[in-house]
Each structure stands twice: as structure tokens, then as C-alpha cells.
Structure 1
Amino acid sequence: MTLKIQQQGDVLHFTGVLNRDTLMQYSPFTLLNNASTAVTFDFAALENIDTAGLAWLLHQLSKAKEKGTSIVLSNVPKQLLSLADVTAVRPLLPISD
């Protein structure tokens, strides 16, 4: 299980698994430190996410908001939507599609 986050301009491409085991690779998460005012998280190649991954995502959204950066989620997998529905946080997710 691995997680890769590659930056191309204002888009962060997530590949692999976003879970409690892979999150430590990106702790602390510094890719937003020099971000512009709008960043897209592209989950097209995300294979799996768990509740720890969802919590991490919500934390990044909060940190970005504090810095005046907006995040849009693109190609959101059904698994993430299901987790967000079960935990009643879906309204907090800025989903573009």
C-alpha cells in the first residue's frame, strides 16, 4: 500500500491508498504551504480511502481555509462519498463533479 501525491501546477494528483498507514508519508503535509488561492485535489487514481483518510482530508480543508486557499475535490471516488455520507460530513466537501 502506497500513496503518491504529485503536484502539477495547482492540481495535486493522488494515486494509491489514502489511509492510516500511508498518511504518515505526508506528515506534516507541506504541499499546501506555497499553494495559490485555489488548489484541486484530483482523486482519479485513488484506489482506496478509509476514515483516517477522510479525517486527514477534512483537516487539510480547514488548514487551507485558514490560509485563504480554497480546495476543490475532483474525481471523487464512490467510497469517499459513502464515508462522507455515513459520517454526515458530505456537505463540508467542496466536490466539483
Structure 2
Amino acid sequence: MPEKKTDKNTDKSHGKNYRNAVASYDRETLHSPSDAVAKVKSLAKAKFDETIELAVRLGVDPRKTDQSVRGTVSMPSGTGKTVRIAVFAAGDAAKQARDAGA
């Protein structure tokens, strides 16, 4: 009896939405960041907010301190998290905390 090949990329191991998404783009084509984000958004099929990870090769040596790269990004709509402040105080300090917005 011939042995069956089990390949993780067979049609039965992925759903039809995944197969349609894979068939709709070419991995060899280089896209601009805005085009890539638009393509990912058009292929989104999940029932939750999907995320995109970005890896950038900067060509710096992490062992050299003068080449370190650090930074932060402010998202245009914020992070979606609400800031909450908890204060453990009594008497006058509690009133001041409430007046300050805690």
C-alpha cells in the first residue's frame, strides 16, 4: 500500500477563506507599506480585531551603544485603553483625590 504524504499546506488543513486569501496575492511582489496594510485589511476574515506585526531590518549592531534605536509611536486614535487611578486615602486626602479626578 503506498504511503500517504501528509503536508501541512494541503487543502484540507486550511479553510476556504484562508485558501482564497493565499490565492489572491503574490508573495514575490514587493508592496509599499500603505498597499500592504490595505491588502491585509481586505483579507481580514476573523471575528475579532486582528493585529499586524512588522519586523524591520535596520542594519545596526546591537552590541554597539552608539547604534541603538529606541522610540515610541503615538497612535492616531490612542491605544484604546482608559486610564484609571486608584487612591487609598482617608479624610482630607481622599477629598483632594476625588477633586483631582481619581
TM-score range, shorter chain: under 0.3
**Higher Cα Rg: structure 1 or 2?**
2
Identify the structure with bigger relative contact order (alpha carbons < 8 Å, sequence gap 6+): 1
**TM-score normalised to structure 1 length:** 0.24
